[in-house]
């Protein structure tokens, strides 16, 4: 389920990038290309639609990111088992290498 949600987030992110690139920072963008007033949506409605799409995609990405955290596998037994296996596989103290503790010439 986590992978599906992350896939949807990536898809929405790409759509959000495309919608942002269509906008013009000075208020033109896609809406400025429709100069005739008898278009289906009109200039004002196109700009409103693009702005609402931007906020909708951004809100959906935030919401899905929060929801995705609920599906992260947090099986605590797996972590404990790994630590126990590391302890069981550790080298016994009598097989540990020994290092000289005195410095030559300072005896």
Task: Return the pLDDT at 12.
Answer: 94
Average pLDDT over residues 7-32: 80
* pLDDT digits 0-9 by tens, 34-91: 444 445 555 567 778 888 889 999 999 999 999 998 888 766 555 556 666 677 677 7
pLDDT of res. 26: 63
Count of domains for the chain: 1
Which has the higher per-residue pLDDT, 34 or 22? 22
Alpha-carbon gap, residue 46 to 66, rounded angstroms: 30
Residue 67 domain-assigned (yes or no): yes
pTM, whole model, 2 decimals? 0.53
90 in any annotated domain: no
pLDDT at 51: 86
Kindly provide the b/e burial profile for residues 12-44, where b requires at least 16 CB atoms within 10 angstroms of the residue's own CB: beebbeebeeebeeeeebbbeebeeeeeeeebe
Residue 7: per-residue pLDDT: 93
The boundaries of the domain holding residue 53 are 2-33+41-72
pLDDT of amino acid 38: 44
**86 exposure class (CB count in 10 Å sphere: 0-12, 13-18, 19+):** exposed
Note whether residue 9 is domain-resident: yes
60 lies in some domain: yes
Task: Report which of residues 34 and 99 the model is more confident about.
Answer: 99
């Amino acid at each position: 389920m986590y992978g599906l949600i992350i896939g949807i987030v990536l898809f929405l992110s790409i759509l959000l990038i495309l919608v942002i690139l269509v906008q013009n920072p000075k208020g033109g963008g896609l809406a400025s290309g429709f100069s005739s007033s008898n278009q289906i949506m009109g200039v004002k409605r196109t700009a409103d639609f693009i702005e609402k799409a931007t906020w909708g995609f951004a809100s959906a990405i935030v919401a899905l990111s929060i929801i995705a955290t609920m599906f992260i596998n947090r099986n605590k037994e797996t972590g404990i088992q790994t630590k126990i296996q590391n302890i069981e596989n550790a080298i016994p103290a009598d097989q540990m290498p020994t290092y000289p503790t005195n410095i030559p010439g300072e005896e």
